[in-house]
Structure 1
Amino acid sequence: MADLDLEEIRNQRLAQLQAQNRGNNANNQEVLKEKQQHEDMRNAILSQVLDQSARARLSTLSLGKPEKGKMVENMIVSMAQKGQLMGRLGEKELINILESINKQTSKKSVSVKFDRRRAALDIDDDL
């Protein structure tokens, strides 16, 4: 008797888990579909706003520095949606945008100085 009850409980639990899994898969598919639609919209905007040479330069940038490429793409898409861009951007205009971004995001390098004499003196004291 106990084995039959246990088997029935296992089957019920398995059915519940399978139902949950089907629900999660449906939600995941919806999220992926929304992300794909968003990416398609971004690509459509970029292809309308950028000419072929600028698009190639942006692709090259994205290959080398993906986070910077994404940032530039986001900026161009937002500028296009706000109506700040007049006409298509060429390679020179894209280079100007990239230079302005580099000036804004340039990080100041931190320099670390190491005094070798002092380190050498510390070692001599240990001997």
Structure 2
Amino acid sequence: MSDADLEEIRKGRLAQLQHQQQGGASSGGGGEDQQKQEAEARNSILTQILTPEAADRLGRIRLVKESRATDVENRLMTLARSGQLRSKVTEDQLKELLGAMAENEEKVGGGGGGRIVINRRKGWDDDDDLLDI
């Protein structure tokens, strides 16, 4: 991602924040419009930082688990704002990011995804009971 792209993202975000400040003071019930504008701005930024394949994968993730897709989007936007993205994010890079985020969740103890613990009771159903008959 070039400096010009990042500057464009910054300008767009600044314009969005200025619009929110102006709109927030004058209108009280524009929450729906504001959410729509935020979603459009978010999609615009993601289009600039993701390859089409990566955007498609993120869309499929959103279908399965929206909270995970939102977390990934937030992380990508943070990386873009801090200047850590040098080029568009590919599908393989997106997979690596997902893996890193999943490992981090497991270390923190959140999610609990994929792990099932079965505790079996011992002694309540012995086959020896049948011999007493």
TM-score w.r.t. the length of structure 2 is 0.63
Deviations 1:53-80 (A, max 9, x none): 0000000011011111111011111111
Whether 1:27 and 2:28 are equivalent positions in the alignment is: yes
Note the residue ranges of structure 2 that are not aligned, 5 or more in a row.
Answer: 1-26, 107-111
Q: Secondary structure at the match of 1:27?
A: coil
Contiguous gaps of at least 5 residues in structure 1: 1-25
Question: Cα RMSD between the aligned structures?
Answer: 2.0
| 1:78 matched residue in structure 2 | 78
1:4 aligns to what?
none
CA distance in 2, matches of 1:101, 1:116: 38
Structure number with greater CO (CA < 8 Å, separation at least 6) is: 2
In terms of Rg, which structure is larger?
1
The residue type paired with residue 89 of structure 1 is V
Segments ≥4 residues shifted beyond 2 Å: 106-112
Matched, 1:113 2:114: no
Question: Structure 1 104/34 Cα, relative in aligned 2: closer, same or farther at 3 Å?
Answer: same
Aligned length: 95
Deviation at 1:111, TM superposition (A): 2.5
Structure (1 or 2) with the greater helix fraction: 1
Q: Give the whole-Å Cα distance in 2 for the aligned partners of 1:33 and 1:83.
A: 29
The residue aligned with 2:49 is 49
Give 1:27 shift: 2.7
